Chain A
């Protein structure tokens, strides 16, 4: 193979992945490191890459402190409630106290944020969400990143991180190949900000055939954030915390604006409200601390996302499906109807296509909802990702090791899906995390922490051989058969992906088993994943496009393995509605009010699991209203006591 080796040397900050996290990182790195060499390596084209490629109709994380709306600590409480307590509150607080400054800059750059004509503040969709015309959200932030970076390398599939040969556990750059030219790219860098994506397509999707592309998270989100970091020996956290989404059926169109802004609601096939029927039993599973519908109702405390899923899943299993979103009332208002449609056109065009194809007009009928297959990511209502250091002024000792957003591998930083324990960051929060990581990375370099890095030719050559192995395998064995894809010596990436999806679905809690798993199933899962790893050594790629898919599959496989280890480790059902441990069907705060942390030894491939403390920065009370409520209840109890005594 005549592919060239192209070495980019002397990089200070290498940003892997040019999505919202990566663009934020590259933009900010230039301010703190005006003399530094900043490079972005992006798998696609930075103008339309990452989860926001298609656009967004809302920014889901905005405090609005400027308008007196929320403070960072309010957001920490919200995310903690939604994730059943399991979050990194230091990282969340840090993101939340900075996120508004990112949004204010977006507006200055030209992103159309809607305004409330009465108050002049940004148009709220919900307490945390503001509405935008965000079709060009990605091109706009890409422009900012391009202005800051020395160079953007588009169409580079980064396969591995480079490690320092002089000092153990220190990063030294990354390697990959150009999807168009096939050339081998070596990026030697003092720091790496991993801003690659979470994972779609590791659990079997509900769709079949052609429709498999209509996944909730982008199909190009290949879990590379996790694949790259786990391979490098970075510690991971909360990887069991996969997410299941309640969305419009088949198209997976977003429901946020519908619930929050359009005031639509759900009902079962009989037209009945069904959620509250499931709450008493659910409360027994998770405890009153996590589900108290009465208090939620009176204080507007949200019911956690997973628990609402639980109600849909159980209502459907009880034979009262489908669940409908009641849109017919709101859609009679032409303005709200327009908002409803533009919501899809701005971020999930496929849902509009589906409704057009099936003549569903939400003005005339109530569309169906469903729960999706699970996804592994870290910026929506879920917190999978790397175990990162927090900021100096907030984090307790167990959460702090020198540099904000640095992983347990020195010089390796993270943003967006790559950082664990920080749900509800969404687009603006991921961009903000990129900025935080960039500032810290520059400081790390200025402190001399990256001095003396050495990358051996041997390491570079070893990775080169590994990267192109699937092309070589195809060349060697292809002509042993007449035609087609059935070959006893190899599997292709699509065949491998199907195997991964099937086994994760059946053993690790996918849709076909109603999100149920247990210790026995998870152990079988690990065994099958191990055998699959052997077969991944025999992956064949007939061209560069298939080589891209081969490496995406390897990242997805590594992610799946980590997810399975974490799911096995946490012996409780913390998030009913995301997944169930059939052998431990209750939430168990006594033993599991902790964050789970794993590390895969890069040499042996063995995982070590540990519990890490889960610190709460803010009190249990959700807001003033709840505090008053509880005080009142106490007062009433006091007054009631003598009466009972008599």
Chain B
């Protein structure tokens, strides 16, 4: 639901402007702080809320169907690999949730494919992709082909 920015917390750093997938977090030229310029193109994806170092961005449910008096706050900690949510209902009920966001140190286990041994001619001519066939089943089996799957082309055409 549309985001808004607290005047006293925002320092105009622009992290939200940089991350917003919808290009709707902009810096107000008078106040030098961020705001949502187009609430009806906001998907409440929380990308800007998570990215704000000052916790200055919050969300107020869409005016056309969400009554006032609720809050859903989030704290995403990349170094800990966790995300914490607090949901506050209009009637005051609270719910808290904590989930992992990654199981590995950030980016360390993603290979740089420019540096791995490159494919040979046979691999180029096969149907396999990088790391296949091994990663298909984490065993020594091969890729499924039509024949291997016992399949043949069947006419299904009616004009």
Contacts and interface: CB of A to CB of B under 8 A. Distances in A.
Contact of A210 (B62, B87, B88, B153): B62
Contacts of B107: 143, 147
Contacts of A112: 99-103
24 contacts: A30-B114, A65-B144, A85-B156, A101-B132, A101-B135, A104-B138, A144-B110, A147-B110, A179-B23, A209-B64, A212-B40, A212-B41, A214-B43, A338-B97, A341-B95, A349-B74, A350-B62, A354-B1, A357-B66, A357-B90, A439-B129, A591-B158, A593-B158, A613-B155
B68 interface: yes
Interface string B23-42: 11010000000000111111
Contact of A611 (B67, B90, B93, B159): B159
Given A27-B113, A133-B100, A349 B44 contact: yes
B92 to A, nearest CB: 9
B86 to A, nearest CB: 10
A435 B70 CA distance: 43
Contacts of A614: 156-157
| Residue of A47, A218, A349, A590 ringed by the most chain B CB atoms within 10 A | A349
Given A110-B102, A214-B44, A357 B146 contact: no
Contacts, number: 293
A566 B63 CA distance: 37
Nearest to B157: A613
A44 B102 contact: no
Contact of A356 (B47, B89, B156): B89
A265 interface: no
B40 A210 contact: yes
B21 A213 contact: no
A219 B69 CA distance: 26
Given A73-B151, A107-B103, A616-B156, 5 more contacts: A109-B110, A349-B72, A356-B71, A594-B158, A615-B153
Interface in A47-62: 47-50, 53-54
Nearest to A351: B44
A457 interface: no
Contacts of A356: 61, 70-72, 87-90
A400 to B, nearest CB: 12
Interface residues of B, number: 89
A594 B41 CA distance: 37
B99 A207 contact: no
Contacts of A427: none
Contacts of A592: 158
Interface stretch (A8-16, A158-166, A184-192, A389-397): A389-397
B67 to A, nearest CB: 5
